[in-house]
Structure formats: C-alpha cells, structure tokens
Amino acid sequence: MGVYAETSGASITCKNKKVAEAIYNILKVQADKSDENGNSFATELDYDDGLVVFHASSGRVQNLEWQLQQIWEAIKDIDGVEELQASFLVEGDGVYFCNE
C-alpha cells in the first residue's frame, strides 16, 4: 500500500475554447470512472475558454504521477495544447507538539 494522493483543480491550458473542448471530449471517455482500488481518472471534468480542469486520485502518489503522464502523452501533440499543471495533496500523519 502506498501513500494516497489527489489533485483537485488540475488544469490543461489550451490555445482556445475549440481545443479545450476537444481535450474535454478525449478525457470524458474515462471521466467519472474508478478502478477496484479507488483510483480515479479525470473526474469532475469541465472546460471553458481555453482551460480544461479535472480531479484525479490514487492510493499511490507514484500511480497518480503515472496517470497524469498518460494524459499528457495522449494530448501533448494536439495542436493548441500548451501545458498540464497538477498540484498534489498527499496524505500524511503530520506532527503534534505540546507543552506539558
């Protein structure tokens, strides 16, 4: 078992709305699906004038990185795709400090 990670508000910047709609349609095929381990692929998918946003998660941070790499590989050569940006929220225990 790995460390859970998710990206909320991951974004793909596109040249214009037409390109964003095309990317949205490509990702929509996998949207709102998750596998038997709870990993989600491009859920909460939406687009507007040149920006596609989505959420993705995985029980392993490395798998989430791989998922996003697969998205990038699928869309990077489409004319008008500029970048994919995704910040991760990673599960952790944190710390606790106390004066007795």
The per-residue pLDDT for 42 is 76
CATH class of 5-90: alpha beta
The per-residue pLDDT for 29 is 81
The per-residue pLDDT for 43 is 79
pLDDT tens for the chain, 100 residues long, are 688 899 988 999 999 999 999 999 998 887 656 666 666 677 789 999 999 999 988 888 999 998 899 899 999 999 999 999 999 988 876 667 768 7
The per-residue pLDDT for 24 is 95
Helices (H), the chain: 17-28, 61-75
The CA distance from 76 to 91, in Å, is: 29
The CA distance from 59 to 37, in Å, is: 7
The CA distance from 50 to 39, in Å, is: 27
The CA distance from 81 to 33, in Å, is: 24
The per-residue pLDDT for 38 is 60
Tokens standing for residue 6: 């998710």
The CA distance from 54 to 40, in Å, is: 11
Tokens standing for residue 88: 């991760």
Does the model's pTM come out above 0.85? no
Q: Give long-range contacts, CB 8 A cutoff, 24+ apart: 71-74.
A: 71/12, 71/27, 71/42, 74/26
Please report, for the chain, the start and end positions of each structural domain, with discontinuous segments joined by +.
5-90
